[in-house]
Amino acid sequence: MCIRDRSMPAFEAFREHGKGCVPWFLFDRGGDIGDVLAIAASERWKVTVRAMHNRRTQEAETYELLRTKLLRQSELGSYNLKIPAGPRRCGRVARMSVRACTVTLVIKHPWTGKKRNVTLQAVLTQETSPAPRGESGVDWLLLTTASVSTFGEARQVIDGYAHRWKIELFHNLWKSGRCHVEDSHLHTADRIQKWATLLASVAVRSLRLTQVARTEPETPADVELTRDEIDAILLLRKPTGYQMGDTPPIGLVVRWIAEYGGFTNKSKQTHPGKLVVARGLDLLGPAVGVVQALRNSQKKVPRARRGER
């Protein structure tokens, strides 16, 4: 699909439903391609790309490497970044330094060798506090079409890119983790699009529940789950101190759903992942149907006539 094609579904959706909204495209290092940068700059789209190449920048009649130019800039500001622990990463609070400037990149066509200049904004955020032994400090070099003349604008670019990993999690659930959208046997484009859209909403909900349970665990569960879903998991799990009709916190309910989906880690320090939450929601479906049927049957029971027992 050509990036110049304005019939792309993203543009169609924004034209129809996103009036007043401006799409902001996020690319990982695989998006550091000359044509992508040049077209984004010429079309004035909002784009942020994680730089993979330390390209040359043109300064009058001289050249300077992109990273070298940024390191010469004065620091715009600094902030603290909480880094969670991972399989090969120590949890810590890193002190981050931010530098930014306008750059004119010299982009060489890979086949013809023809050079062209593309003007963009560049942001460099680096960990200045000592990283744990054996680990590299956080270091992001971002290219963007957005303004970065102030610290606040640069932080907006950085914070926006920090959410890019959620797109990867969504695609994992949508394509293979839960929904298997690519396994569809539908034959017409409109039916495939409708089915893919429905499955996309299913994937987003699984990811949303996983994230809210981690970031806002004390939020009441009925903010994200229906009454029938909460009662269904209470009926299945029979947790001490709760009964049907109660509203436990979302962190606890999502953990119960994940355990129903196969989550076995009993450590309170470990959060369930998106896949076990997704499996738990799938397995919870029949129980939700039973709760709904019981609730509907109770509503249909006729009241006893006066004098009858």
Query: CB–CB of 289/232 below 8 Å?
Result: no
Number of H helices and number of E strands within the chain? 9, 8
Beta-carbon contacts of residue 14 (< 8 Å; ≥ 6 apart):
21, 23
The pLDDT of residue 101 is 93
The pLDDT of residue 9 is 66
pTM listed for this prediction: 0.73
CA 53 to chain centroid: 25
The pLDDT of residue 1 is 41
Helix (H, G, I), strand (E, B) or coil at 23: coil
Query: CB–CB of 71/90 below 8 Å?
Result: no
The pLDDT of residue 82 is 86
Instruction: Report mean pLDDT in 10-residue bins for the chain, 309 residues.
Output: 54 71 86 87 87 85 85 93 79 91 86 84 92 85 94 94 88 89 89 91 93 92 93 91 91 93 75 90 90 81 51
What number of CA atoms fall less than 13 Å from residue 91's CA on the CB side? 4
